[in-house]
């Protein structure tokens, strides 16, 4: 069913007009595509697209009133004879020595001026350009005004340079007339190397079986049928196929009419470029043939990336240090003042990591931010975990993308790997660990500790005073008593006991609060590290995915 529809469309395509603005928009889309994939896809795959953009730009800027038609074919098929017969002048050398024509010859119908720049661009030497002025002839030549007919060299002879010239010219002309003859119409080189390449240019392709006079009238239809079968196999179904003979003008009527139509429509250049765009788009399609992955990479992968980053950044170590430091500092503030001093001999775990200590002055935070930390280097295992996590992110993000993109995603994910350690260090150093404030309750407890210690001291002093007075034989003051116990004794013992008691009571509280502080710090640190991961790993990945999306959209626009 679709086959029939396709053939119908192909059959009608000849009459379909190509809108110039539309073509320009499509070319622009190709340009956007090239911009988006630049650096992500190997240049070797983009050569045709780059060539197209450049060539199309130039062709559209040159005369659109002219139609450049090339006669292409194998050596000895009679291209030059046909050329001369169409021009009705002996312009291109004809001969029996093979190969005959070595360079392209051009003939312009109508005034030369508009076509000069076109021929310069195509690369036909001035001495091989001819003008078919209508003044010489009857009016029948005016209908061909605007035709620039090129006689190309052969592409199958021992002269390799001819083939290169043909390949170059075939990329530039608007319409190609393939000239084959009864001897050579089934040659491999014509079909495999050339006709099959013009599948998407069916509306600017014409095939003529030249030297038809060498076949008997009975044989001609059979050969034409066979040739049509070969063309169908080349994917050129629906291409006009004509039999011509250069020896008399009657054998050329069909070709002339076809050329007149093409010249009158002024469409060949646009159709040719449109076909080029089709070819390029089809060739590039597989580069962007799947949808942009939605919300990639997924939560799990990001989670494992964050965990790996945290491990590599030493978050557990810092969090542990926070807990230690909390206990240390809380102990220093709320501990029993009698033994508080010797605690100071032990280092603060956070300070050991070179992380901001408790008493940073408010005007110096910047300095503490830039200073590198002494958080332990990641171990080999942590490094491996980080590598695995980044790889997993890249793999997930690029999983469904076509060929060169997964590599591009992986490269992007690793692009800032070298900056990662420093960034992580920075993030750790810049994270508020919540250790800069002394909680009120530390001070309260500290105050109580001081109070009870002072009470104990006062009691001690009082007792000592009484003891001293007694030693000196002076009358000792009467101690006020609370119940049976003298007040100074109560103060001394009660103070000491209360201090110990407060220390004992606050100890589990401190441990609990230290764990809280650790969790809080861990949360902040993980968030900071996750942000680093986002900035250094996921952002580059997203950038590549964005470019993929742009490229895909651009190519879809170009495919219209």
Partner 1 sequence: MTTNGDPATRSGAPTVAARTGSPDVAETPPGTTADGLPAALTGLRAAIGAARFPLALPSAEPARRTASALADQLDDYLLPRLARLDAPLLVVVGGSTGAGKSTLVNSLVQARVSAAGVLRPTTRSPVLVCNPADSTWFRQGELLPGLTRTTEPTEDPRTLHLVTAPALPAGLAFLDAPDIDSVVDANRALAGQLLAAADLWLFVTTAARYADAVPWELLRSARARGAAIAMVLDRVPPEAADEVAAHLSEMLAAQDLGAAPLFVLPETWVDGQGLLPDKVTAPLSAWFARLAADAEARAAVVRQTLDGALASLHPTVEALAEAADEQVAAADALDERVRAAYRGAQRTVEDGLVDGRLLRGEVLARWQEFVGTGEFFRTLEARVGRLRDRVVAAMTGRPATSAAELRNAIESQLVTLLRGVSSEAAEHAYTAWKAHPAGAALLEPGLAHPSDDLPERAERLVRDWQRGVLDLVRAEGGDRRFVARTAAYAVNATGLAVMIAVFASTAFIPTGLEVATGAGTTVAAQAVLQAIFGDQAVRTLANKARTDLLERVRALLDEEAARYLTRTDEARPGADAGAELRRAAGRVEVARHRSGLADGDGPGLPAPTGGRR
* Residues binding partner 1 (CB under 8 A): 74-77, 96-99, 156-160, 181-189, 191-192, 215, 219, 222-223, 226, 230, 233, 311, 316-317, 320, 349, 352-353, 374, 376-377, 379-385, 387-388, 391, 395
* Rg (alpha carbons) of the chain, rounded to whole number: 45
Q: Is 4 exposed, middle or buried (0-12, 13-18, 19+ CB in 10 A)?
A: exposed
Query: Residue 159 or 550: which CB sits closer to partner 1?
Result: 159
User: CA torsion 399→401→402→408, rounded to 10°?
Assistant: -90
Maximum C-alpha span of the chain = 159
Closer by beta carbon to partner 1, 52 or else 544: 544
- Nearer Cβ to partner 1 (211/274): 211
Nearest to 321 by CA among 242, 431, 396, 421: 431
CB of 447 to partner 1, least distance (A): 30
Least Å distance between CB 289 and partner 1?
16
Give yes or no for a cis peptide into 99 (omega within 30° of 0): yes
Query: Three-state SS for 206?
Result: strand
- Nearest CB to partner 1, comparing residues 186 and 476: 186
CB of 115 to partner 1, least distance (A): 32
338-348 CB burial, b ≥16 within 10 A, e <16: eebeeeeeeeb
Sort residue 506 into left (φ over 0), alpha (ψ -120 to 50) or beta.
alpha
Residue among 32 and 511 whose Cβ is closer to partner 1? 511
Q: Are strands 481-482 and 485-486 parallel, antiparallel or unpaired?
A: antiparallel
Nearer to partner 1, 452 or 537 (CB): 537
Give the shortest CB-64-to-partner 1 separation in angstroms.
Answer: 36
Nearer to partner 1 among residue 378 and residue 495 (C-beta): 378
Task: For partner 1, give the closer residue by CB, 157 or 550.
Answer: 157
CB closer to partner 1 out of 217 and 473: 217
**In angstroms, what is the minimal distance from the CB of 292 to partner 1?**
20
User: 36 with 547: CB under 8 angstroms?
Assistant: yes
By beta-carbon proximity to partner 1, the closer residue of 283 and 320 is: 320
Closest CA to 149 of 111, 179, 117, 106: 106
Burial label for 126, CB within 10 Å (0-12, 13-18, 19+), is exposed
Helix axes 440-471, 487-533, angle to 10 degrees: 150
Q: How far is the CB of 211 from partner 1 (least distance, A)?
A: 9
Rounded to 5°, the CA angle 95-96-99 comes to 85
Q: Look up residue 62 and give its DSSP letter.
A: S
Give long-range contacts, CB 8 A cutoff, 24+ apart: 482-486: none
Shortest spacing between CB 378 and partner 1, in angstroms: 9
Cα 434–chain centre separation: 41
Give least dist CB 156 to partner 1, A.
5
Closest separation between CB of residue 354 and partner 1, Å?
10
| 161 or 436: CB nearest partner 1 | 161
CA–CA separation, 425 and 353 (whole Å): 11
| Tokens matching residue 123 | 């690369």
Shortest distance (Å) from residue 371 CB to partner 1: 16
Least spacing, CB of residue 349 vs partner 1, in Å? 7
């Amino acid at each position: 069913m679709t086959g029939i529809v396709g053939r119908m469309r192909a059959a009608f395509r000849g009459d379909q007009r190509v809108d110039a603005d539309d073509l320009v928009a499509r070319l622009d889309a190709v340009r956007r595509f090239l911009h988006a994939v630049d650096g992500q896809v190997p240049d070797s795959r983009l050569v045709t697209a780059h060539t197209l953009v450049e060539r199309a730009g130039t062709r559209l800027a040159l005369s659109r009133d002219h139609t450049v038609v090339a006669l292409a074919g194998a050596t000895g098929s009679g291209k030059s004879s046909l050329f001369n017969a169409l021009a009705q002048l002996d312009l291109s050398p004809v001969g029996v020595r093979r190969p005959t024509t070595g360079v392209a010859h051009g003939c312009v119908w109508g005034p030369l001026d508009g076509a000069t720049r076109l021929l310069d661009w195509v690369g036909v030497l001035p001495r091989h350009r001819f003008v078919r002025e209508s003044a010489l002839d009857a009016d029948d030549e005016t209908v061909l005004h605007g035709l620039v007919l090129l006689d190309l060299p052969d592409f199958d002879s021992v002269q390799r340079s001819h083939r290169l010239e043909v390949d170059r010219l075939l990329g530039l002309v608007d319409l190609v007339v393939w000239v084959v003859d009864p001897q050579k119409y089934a040659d491999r080189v014509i079909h495999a190397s050339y006709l099959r390449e013009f599948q998407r240019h069916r509306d600017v392709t014409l095939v003529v079986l030249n030297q038809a006079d060498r076949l008997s009238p009975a044989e001609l239809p059979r050969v034409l049928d066979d040739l049509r079968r070969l063309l169908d196999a080349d994917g050129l179904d629906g291409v006009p196929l004509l039999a011509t003979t250069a020896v008399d003008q009657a054998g050329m009527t069909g070709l002339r009419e076809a050329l007149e139509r093409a010249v009158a429509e002024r469409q060949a250049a646009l159709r040719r470029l449109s076909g080029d765009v089709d070819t390029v788009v089809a060739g590039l399609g597989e580069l962007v043939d799947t949808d942009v992955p939605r919300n990639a990479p997924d939560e799990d992968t990001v989670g494992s990336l964050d965990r790996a980053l945290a491990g590599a950044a030493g978050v557990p170590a810092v969090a542990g240090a926070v807990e230690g430091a909390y206990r240390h500092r809380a102990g220093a503030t709320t501990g029993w003042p009698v033994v508080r001093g010797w605690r100071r001999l032990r280092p603060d775990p956070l300070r050991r990591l070179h992380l901001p200590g408790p008493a940073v002055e408010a005007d110096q935070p910047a300095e503490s931010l830039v200073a590198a930390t002494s958080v332990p280097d990641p171990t080999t295992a942590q490094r491996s975990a980080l590598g695995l996590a980044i790889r997993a992110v890249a793999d997930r993000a690029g999983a469904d993308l076509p060929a060169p993109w997964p590599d591009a995603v992986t490269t992007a994910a690793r692009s800032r790997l070298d900056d990662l350690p420093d960034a992580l260090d920075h993030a750790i150093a810049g994270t508020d660990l919540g250790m800069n404030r002394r909680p009120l309750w530390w001070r309260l407890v500290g105050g109580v500790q001081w109070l009870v210690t002072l009470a104990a001291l006062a009691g001690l002093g009082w007792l000592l005073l009484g003891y001293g007075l007694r030693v000196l034989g002076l009358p000792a003051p009467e101690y006020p008593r609370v119940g049976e116990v003298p007040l100074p004794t109560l103060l001394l013992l009660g103070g000491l006991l209360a201090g110990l008691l407060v220390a004992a009571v606050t100890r589990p509280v401190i441990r609990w609060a230290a764990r809280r502080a650790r969790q809080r710090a861990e949360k902040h640190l993980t968030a900071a590290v996750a942000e680093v991961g986002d900035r250094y790993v996921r952002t580059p990945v997203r950038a590549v995915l964005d470019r993929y999306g742009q490229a895909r959209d651009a190519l879809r626009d170009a495919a219209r």
